[in-house]
Amino acid sequence: MSHTGRARNAFRPLAHEQRPRRTDRAVKTTPLSGYVGYALRRAQGVIFADFNHTLAQLNLRSGQFAVLLMIDQNPGTSQSSVSAALGIQKANFVATIADLEKRGLVRRRKSDTDGRTYSLGLTARGRSVLQHAAELQSLHEARVTAQIGNEGRLLLLGLLDRLSALQSAETFK
């Protein structure tokens, strides 16, 4: 057997060590289901799928909704401030703003104080789309709250805030 053949088989159990094959279709997820990161990722997938489905009628994605909301709450703010606040890489954020601008939802202007930056604002159409999206977001939030209750929602938000405050893997050392 070649060296590569041995490496390829190094992690395969010997025939007498093989576990019996499962005949049912269910896949065991333990110990994954006990990991915080895995549980967060699964929940995020469900929540995002519902929210994106909710916003689809406006041809809007959850990240675009967040950008519109931030611009609405901070008119005239810079692109870099919004991208940093939302944790979106600048290259991705520029594409998002360009798309929203092309759709007539956002206006981008050179800053009066710093020619290197752009200030952002919503157009009248952008405010209208955001208002409708916010109504849809409320329906989405109500569906989520119906699953975990208002007390559970508040507890979850508090716990997520605590996790979000962790800056990096250095925090865990």
pLDDT, averaged in runs of 10, over the chain (173 residues): 50 57 75 91 95 96 97 94 93 94 95 82 98 98 97 97 78 56
What pLDDT is attached to residue 22?
Answer: 61
pLDDT of amino acid 142: 97
What is the domain extent for residue 80? 34-167
| 16 occurs within a structural domain | no
pTM: 0.77
The answer to the question of residue 3 being in a domain is no
Amino acid at 143: R
Q: What CATH number is given to the structural domain containing 146?
A: 1.10.10.10
**How many structural domains compose the chain?**
1
Please tell me the predicted confidence (pLDDT) of residue 118: 85
Write down the pLDDT at residue 15.
54
- Residue 23 falls inside a structural domain: no
Report yes or no on 102 lying in a domain: yes
Residue 135: its pLDDT value, please? 98
Q: At what angle do helices 90-102 and 62-73 cross, to 10 degrees?
A: 80
